[in-house]
Chains A and B, each alone.
Chain A
Amino acid sequence: MNSVSLLEAKNINTFYGLSHILFDVSLRVEKGEIVGLLGRNGAGKSTTMKSIMGINPPRTGEIFYKGKSITGKRPFVLFRLGIGYVPDDRRVFADLTVEDNLEIVYRRNNEWTKERVYEIFPALKNIRNRRAGNLSGGEQQMLTIGRALMGNPELLLLDEPTEGLAPIIVKALEEQILKLKEAGISILLAEQNLRSALKLVDRVYIIDNGAIKFEGTKKELEENEEIKRKYLLI
């Protein structure tokens, strides 16, 4: 392959203190696609995200972004290179207003503005002066995505965006995520809700107990009942 992947992780091993969480995880995100990282709770999805983002850097292994090694770089550097991160627990800056949450983000250029974020998430516009800590889960989720967008990312790491949200909001969110894809943003989506994931993704990885167990297109997964049963279903 001569084309360079947008993101490529090669054999990363990550630890929390002494406990070994990720075992030789490798994955790839090409430009323009949504890649699903599926697995049960505690399977290692969030850790993978954090490893890529440099928040919890891998002890061994390498990560490449647009062909350049970004292993061990600090999160703010990665953000400035165009990797946006939306954590699973949302982590809005609770003391600040919605607008301030968007404004303090480092901006590479003006491609994404507050207005454009409000266009994608109209709900945010009406509550722009509310304290972020007082928002509902769905609103906070929109805000964290919007916040990541303000940095004009080319790659978005979305960690369980639908977790704990009401079905109707999940639906809206799914549409919005598809809109982002249209806008040319590649997405690595961590998800345990298979149903929701299958609506969005082009390709999937299944992770369990810190190791990648399956890699394939959406179709391959849909057809592979055994994998679904073993790692995702009851």
Chain B
Amino acid sequence: MFEAKGLSKSFDGFMAVSRVDLSVEKGEMVAVIGPNGAGKTTFFNLITGILKPDSGRIVYKGEDITGLSPYEIFRKGISRSFQIVNVFQRLTVFENVQLSVLSRENKTWDLITNASKLYTDETEKILEQVGLLEKKNTVSGFLSHGEQKILEIAIALGGKPEFMILDEPTAGMSPEETVRCMELIKRLREEMDLTILFCEHDMDVVFGYANRIMVMVRGETIIQGTCDEVKCNRLVQEAYLGLSDE
């Protein structure tokens, strides 16, 4: 369904991402892990069109989407949430999600209709799914951190995506929130038949939810495989714990 082939990106000579290959099958939930500065976020930025790769190709559903703008990639059905909270601070929760729906439906040029009556059902359905319905009239800047992260996901859902990219969905959440959030993602995936690519620091989360794991260190993939394969891999332990003596 999705395939990245030999993606590379360097900043001022520093290889942030180097020759990364990844393919994701429909319905999979793939995790990308790696220490800070491993290039995970850069990799996601390449996939979603914020950055243009120096080399390599990105193929989605058999179509080459390398070099397309972010909004074009969104229209193809790839949605993304951000690591840092990146919601529309001054809009209400409802408007945040509605905006995404409007954009998908190509209604952003509509000057006449009153927006508050458009796609209310769908927006509310999304909000209900993620459990933010009772907060729909709160200005999103006032939500708690955890709620804002959930809202992030809700915004991404507004695009009716088939492929979702979640950049540290649980970063900065308390343990209880983390569990709730991951359960939510799991449920959404089942309900909406989503394919998910996410990165995460919390290993409990990664091993609890991912089908497959890709480990990145200093811009390179050191291993791809199932949870068990990764757990037992010596390179991974080195990267995380510095257990090697070489």
Contacts and interface: CB of A to CB of B under 8 A. Distances in A.
Indicate if A touches B (C-beta under 8 A).
yes
Nearest to B236: A234
B241 A209 contact: no
Contact of B242 (A19, A21, A193): A193
A210 B174 CA distance: 8
B172 A19 contact: yes
Contacts of B171: 42
Nearest to A134: B12
Given A193-B241, A195-B241, A234 B202 contact: no
B237 A20 contact: no
16 contacts: A16-B172, A18-B144, A41-B36, A41-B201, A42-B201, A162-B242, A163-B35, A163-B36, A164-B37, A167-B244, A192-B35, A192-B240, A193-B241, A209-B178, A232-B241, A233-B237
Interface residues of A, number: 25
A181 interface: no
A128 interface: no
Contact of B175 (A163, A164, A209): A209
A163 B172 contact: no
A201 interface: no
Contacts, number: 62
Contact of A21 (B172, B202, B203, B218): B172
Main secondary structure on A side of the interface with B = loop
Contacts of A18: 142-145
B231 interface: yes
A167 B37 contact: no
B201 A194 contact: no
B246 interface: yes
Main secondary structure on B side of the interface with A = loop
B134 to A, nearest CB: 18
Contacts of B231: 234
Contact of A196 (B37, B207, B242): B242
A209 B174 contact: yes
A208 B36 CA distance: 16
B116 to A, nearest CB: 26
A192 to B, nearest CB: 8
Nearest to B218: A164
A40 B201 contact: yes
